[in-house]
Amino acid sequence: MSRTQVGIVGAGPAGLTLGHLLHREGIESVILEARSRDYVEARLRAGVLEHDVAELFDRAGVGARMRREGLVHTGVELQSGPERHRLAFDELTGKTIVVYGQTEVVKDLIAARLESGRPLRFGVSDVSLHDLDGDRPAIRYAHEGDEHELACDVVAGCDGFHGVSRASIPTGVLQEFRREYPYGWLGILAAVAPSHDELIYARGERGFALLSMRSPELSRLYLQCAPDEDLGAWSDDRIWAELQERLGVDGWTLHEGPILEKGVTPMRSFVVEPMQWGRLFLAGDAAHIVPPTGAKGLNLAIRDVHVLADALVAWYRDGDHAPLDGYSETCLRRVWRAEHFSWWMTTMLHRDPEGDPFDVRLQQSQLRHLRTSTAAATALAENYVGVERA
Ligand code: FAD
Ligand code: DHB
């Protein structure tokens, strides 16, 4: 049996950031990850960091490469049919966003962890959580053919939507909130310079499309599709033709290039309350999911563990357990703000296959309001760059 202060399940953005913030405060942790390092570093997902999340990485000493290679954007374009309208985040809120891939965030955090010398075990299996309602919880797991038991003061469940942590809480404790959507995203990474210097969110008769990027040489694009879309039916030519239809406007060219990766992402909204039980604290996708429109998922995960790290510092340093007791309540305020924003962006911009012309008129009216009202534009911008006080 080994011992640590904080047992962290999952080495995604939440688990790795938590381990790093705790290390900076002299608090021990062990991070256990089911997958290999290569797999975790290559998992293509989100790409937008809120202003304050980027600053948190700076303060935590893991922002150097993000500042060198990340792309600072001062606004985004909203497109409705053939019309584009720019929202200037810097003018509306004084804040900006940083376009920097989740793969890069994860690589930077793994490098910082290895440098710290603190334990990070990849390829663990049979993870189970025990005695979470006592004051000496434990994690059992297998690693490189051996069985282990890790005694902890607290366990952080950072193991994503399909992890074991949430499922270890007895039935009846958690209240679940969910919403499914009748569409998903087909996403590609393409070896071609981005055709625009900012993100374009486009709503149209053929469905939603998004132009994003990863670097001056790499484009990331998404198309609304069915939630169970068969990727086999999408040749590279068909993907580009559909993107041309949905994003095209007069006087602008969408440049095409080799597609390096493609995948389908289902969409859901999901929250559990509370986000803690006994000595187990859930963070990130283990506790909540947002549909990707608006890019909140990764940012919420980082915000959760920031709250958790501060609460653990107050507990270890000052014996003050009020912040830990209030962890769930503090996080859920921001979580529900992001849930609403993501649901709203999603329903405003996607074509509902079961919708009717009434729905379309509501979407058009909402988009017009964003073009004509500074108050409406500011509300979107504030949510996008990250609300200060949720
Ligand atoms: P995760 O990144 O899921 O990390 C959890 C980790 O726990 C994983 O490494 C997993 O392997 C590990 N794990 C799971 N079970 C166990 C176990 N039993 N034992 C040990 N380890 C375990 N957000 C956006 O903002 N924009 C996007 O475009 C976007 N695209 C996405 C595409 C996909 C396919 C998915 C699934 C999510 C996407 N998201 C996006 C959401 C965003 O990526 C997540 O919100 C973010 O990864 C959450 O980080 P996390 O650390 O909480 O969870
Ligand atoms: C990206 C993903 C999003 O969900 C979004 O709203 C904007 C950008 C991206 O992967 O680049």
pLDDT tens-digit map of 21-51? 999 999 999 999 999 999 999 999 999 999 9
**Among 113, 125, 97, which residue's Cα sits nearest to residue 35?**
125
What are the φ and ψ backbone dihedral angles of 18, each rounded to 5 degrees?
-60, -50
In this prediction, residue 203 carries a pLDDT of 97
Q: What is the dihedral of CA 368, 371, 376, 377, to 10 degrees?
A: 140
Ligand nearest to the backbone CA of 208 = 2
- Joined together, the tokens standing for residue 77 give 């374009």
Check pLDDT > 90 for residue 200: yes
Ligand nearest to the backbone CA of 290 = 1
* Distance from the alpha carbon of residue 212 to the mean position of ligand 2, in angstroms: 6
User: Is 296 annotated as catalytic?
Assistant: yes
CB of 219 closer than 6 angstroms to any ligand 2 atom:
no
Ligand 2 atom nearest to 214, measured from its CA: 11
Please state the pTM of the whole predicted model: 0.97
Share of the chain above pLDDT 90, in %: 98
* Distance from the alpha carbon of residue 320 to the mean position of ligand 1, in angstroms: 31
* Distance from the alpha carbon of residue 6 to the mean position of ligand 2, in angstroms: 32
Asked if 227 and 211 touch (Cβ cutoff 8 Å), the reply is no
Three-state secondary structure readout of the chain:
CEECCEEEECCCHHHHHHHHHHHHCCCCEEEECCCCHHHHHHCCCCCEECHHHHHHHHHCCCCHHHHHHCEEECEEEEEECCEEEEEEHHHHHCCCEEECCHHHHHHHHHHHHHHHCCCEECCCEEEEEECCCCCCCEEEEEECCEEEEEECCEEEECCCCCCCCHHHCCCCCCEEEEEEEEEEEEEEEECCCCCCCCCEEEECCCCCEEEEEEECCEEEEEEEECCCCCHHHCCHHHHHHHHHHHHCCCCCCCCCCCEEEEEEEEEEEEEEECCEECCEEECHHHCEECCCCCCCHHHHHHHHHHHHHHHHHHHHHHCCCHHHHCHHHHHHHHHHHHHHHHHHHHHHHCCCCCCCHHHHHHHHHHHHHHHHCHHHHHHHHHHHHCCCCC
pLDDT class of 102 with cuts at 50, 70, 90: very high
Check pLDDT > 90 for residue 371: yes
pLDDT class of 390 with cuts at 50, 70, 90: confident
Ligand 1 atom nearest to 300, measured from its CA: 45
* Distance from the alpha carbon of residue 250 to the mean position of ligand 1, in angstroms: 38
Residues 107-137: pLDDT tens digits? 999 999 999 999 999 999 999 999 999 999 9
Share of the chain above pLDDT 70, in %: 100
Q: Which residue puts its alpha carbon closest to atom 28 of ligand 1?
A: 46
User: Is 196 annotated as catalytic?
Assistant: no
Q: Which residue ranges have their beta carbon within 6 Å of ligand 1?
A: 9-15, 32-35, 40, 45-46, 102, 124, 127, 158-160, 163-164, 265, 284-285, 292, 295-298, 301
pLDDT class of 373 with cuts at 50, 70, 90: very high
Catalytic residue among 181, 201, 222, 327: 201
What mean pLDDT comes out for the span 89-103? 98
pLDDT class of 388 with cuts at 50, 70, 90: confident
Q: What is the mean pLDDT of the chain?
A: 97
Catalytic residue among 23, 196, 296, 306: 296
Burial of 140 (0-12, 13-18, 19+ CB in 10 A): middle
User: Is 148 annotated as catalytic?
Assistant: no
Residues 173-194: pLDDT tens digits? 999 999 999 999 999 999 999 9
What mean pLDDT comes out for the span 75-104? 97
Check pLDDT > 90 for residue 81: no
Catalytic residue among 95, 292, 306, 327: 292
What mean pLDDT comes out for the span 46-58? 97
CB of 296 closer than 6 angstroms to any ligand 2 atom:
no
Distances (CA, A) of 74 to 93, 301, 347: 10, 23, 24
Check pLDDT > 90 for residue 389: no
Residues 222-255: pLDDT tens digits? 999 999 999 999 999 999 999 999 999 999 999 9
CB of 168 closer than 6 angstroms to any ligand 2 atom:
no
